[in-house]
C-alpha cells in the first residue's frame, strides 16, 4: 500500500509516540519548565490524580507570558494551562493527527488509550517520521545544511 | 589485481541512479513538488546583534515561534521557542540583555528551494527541527516552513 492509503488505514499506535511528560496541576510553572527542559520536550500534560489529562502547558504559552512580570513562574501550572487541547486515541487513524494539528493550529497532539488515560504525545515530528519512511532516498541523500544534525534538537 | 582488498562484494548503496518511480500519487507529488511549494513567507529575520529582549518582543508581537538570525545577509542561526524555554525563561534578567547570536541555535539545518518537498519533511523527521529555513542557490534566505505551513501543505496533498 502507498502513503495515501496507509495514511487513512494505519492507526496512531503505529506512530513513534513520544513519552508523555506529565505534571500535577499544583506544580509551579517553573517546575513544569524545568521538567520540559530535562525531558527535552516543548509541552507537558497536566494530569489529575486519576491520570486523566486536564490541560497542557507548552513553550508558546511560556513565550507569551514572558512579556509581563515573571511572577507567573511561581504560580500553579493549572492557572496558566490550556484546558482545551487536541487529543487522539491509539486506535484512531494517522490522518486524525494531521487534522487535529491543523484545526487547532498546534504541533502537539495528546494520545489517549481506550480509558482516556494519557499514553503518549505525538504531532509534527511523529507524523513527519511516518511520512519520511516512504522516502528512504530523501533520508539517505538529503542536503541538510552544513552539518547533519544539531547537538540540541529544536523540535520536540 | 587492483583495489584495496580482495573482496569484490562491496555495493554502493546509491548505485541505482535511475529516478524513483511511485505508484502512490501522494508519494509522487511529494517527490516532484519542490520545497518552494510549501509556504515559507512571510518570515521574520533579525540581526545577530539584536538583544534577546527585543527579539522576544518581536516574537510575542507577531505571535511567531521562530525567527531567522542573519549576519551580512547570510543565515547564521535560528532563535525559537525552544531557545526561550531552555536559555531564557528561568534566567530572564541575564539572558534578555545579551545579543541573540549568543543564545540562538547556530548553523541551522536548511533546504534549498529546488529540493523535493519530501526533503523538507525528512529534515523534520531526522533532525527534529520543526522550523526549516529555505535558501536559494546563492544562500539568499527565501523563508521558513513552520509546522502550520507544513501541515497545511500535507492537508492539501491528501485532499
What confidence tens digit (pLDDT) does each residue in A2-14 have?
A: 888 899 999 999 9
Q: Do B125 and A141 touch (CB under 8 A)?
A: no
Interface confidence, given as ipTM, is 0.85
Contact yes or no for A65/A72 (Cβ under 8 A): yes
A37 CA to centre of own chain: 14
Instruction: Reply yes or no: is the peptide bond before residue B41 cis, omega within 30 of 0.
Output: no
Q: Which of B65, B86, B152 sits opposite A60 (nearest CB)?
A: B65
What's the order of all strands across the beta sheet hosting A118-123?
A: A87-89, A108-112, A118-123
Beta carbons of A144 and B118 less than 8 angstroms apart: no
DSSP3 helix / strand / coil % (chain A, rounded to 5): 40, 20, 40
Residues (pLDDT < 70) of chain A are 1, 137-156
Contact B25 A155 (CB under 8 A): no
Give the C-alpha separation, B10 to B28, whole Å: 31
With cut-offs at 50, 70 and 90, classify the pLDDT of residue B68: very high
Are B125 and A129 inside 8 Å of each other by CB?
A: yes
Query: Which residues of B fall within a CB distance of 8 Å from A149?
Result: 109, 126-128
Query: CA torsion angle for A145, A147, A151, A155 (degrees, to 10)?
Result: 20
Q: What is the pLDDT of residue A142?
A: 45
Does the pLDDT at position B84 exceed 60?
yes
- Tell me the angle at which helices B117-127 and B25-32 cross, rounded to the nearest 10 degrees: 90
Residue B23 main-chain phi, psi, to 5 deg: -85, -25
Minimal Cα distance from B155: which residue of A?
A: A98
Nearest to A102 among B78, B116, B151 (CB): B151
Whether residue B24 and residue A5 make contact (CB cut-off 8 A), yes or no, is: yes
pLDDT at B1: 42
Residue with cell 533546504: B111
The pLDDT value given to residue A135: 75
User: Residue B44 is placed in which grid cell?
Assistant: 521574520
**Mean pLDDT across chain B:** 90
* Pairwise CB contact (< 8 Å): A66 & B89: yes
CB-based burial, A56-81: b 16+ in 10 Å, e otherwise: bbbbbbbbebbeeeeebbeebbbebb
Taking residues B80-99, report their average pLDDT: 97
Residues in chain A closer than 8 A to B25 (CB atoms): 2, 4
Tell me: the pLDDT tens digits for B8-66? Answer: 667 676 666 777 778 888 889 998 999 999 999 999 999 999 999 999 999 999 999 99
Amino acid at each position: 500500500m502507498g502513503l495515501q492509503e496507509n495514511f487513512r488505514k494505519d492507526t496512531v499506535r503505529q506512530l513513534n509516540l513520544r513519552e508523555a511528560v506529565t505534571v500535577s496541576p499544583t506544580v509551579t510553572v517553573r517546575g513544569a519548565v524545568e521538567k520540559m527542559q530535562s525531558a527535552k520536550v516543548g509541552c507537558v500534560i497536566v494530569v489529575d490524580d486519576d491520570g486523566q489529562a486536564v490541560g497542557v502547558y507548552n513553550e508558546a504559552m511560556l513565550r507569551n507570558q514572558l512579556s509581563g512580570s515573571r511572577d507567573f513562574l511561581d504560580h500553579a501550572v493549572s492557572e496558566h494551562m490550556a484546558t482545551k487541547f487536541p487529543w487522539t486515541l491509539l486506535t484512531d487513524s494517522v490522518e486524525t493527527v494531521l487534522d487535529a494539528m491543523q484545526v487547532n493550529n498546534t504541533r502537539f497532539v495528546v494520545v489517549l488509550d481506550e480509558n482516556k488515560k494519557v499514553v503518549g504525545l505525538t504531532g509534527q515530528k511523529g507524523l513527519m517520521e511516518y511520512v519520511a519512511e516512504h522516502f528512504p532516498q530523501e533520508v539517505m541523500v538529503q542536503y541538510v545544511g552544513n552539518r547533519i544534525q544539531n547537538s540540541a534538537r529544536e523540535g520536540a | 589485481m587492483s583495489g584495496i582488498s580482495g573482496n569484490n562484494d562491496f555495493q554502493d548503496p546509491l548505485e541505482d541512479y535511475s529516478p524513483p518511480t511511485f505508484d502512490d500519487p501522494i508519494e509522487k507529488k511529494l517527490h516532484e513538488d519542490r520545497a518552494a511549494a510549501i509556504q515559507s513567507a512571510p518570515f521574520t529575520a533579525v540581526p545577530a546583534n539584536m538583544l534577546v529582549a527585543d527579539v522576544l518582543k518581536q516574537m510575542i508581537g507577531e505571535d511567531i515561534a521562530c525567527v531567522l538570525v542573519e549576519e551580512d545577509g547570510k543565515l547564521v542561526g535560528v532563535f525559537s521557542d525552544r531557545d526561550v524555554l531552555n536559555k531564557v525563561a528561568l534566567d530572564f534578567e541575564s539572558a534578555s540583555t545579551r545579543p541573540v547570536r549568543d543564545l540562538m541555535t547556530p548553523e541551522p539545518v536548511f533546504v534549498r528551494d529546488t529540493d523535493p518537498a519530501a526533503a523538507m519533511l525528512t529534515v523534520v523527521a531526522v533532525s527534529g527541527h520543526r522550523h526549516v529555513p529555505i535558501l536559494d542557490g546563492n544562500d539568499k534566505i527565501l523563508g521558513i516552513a513552520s509546522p502550520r505551513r507544513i501541515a497545511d501543505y500535507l492537508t492539501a496533498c491528501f485532499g
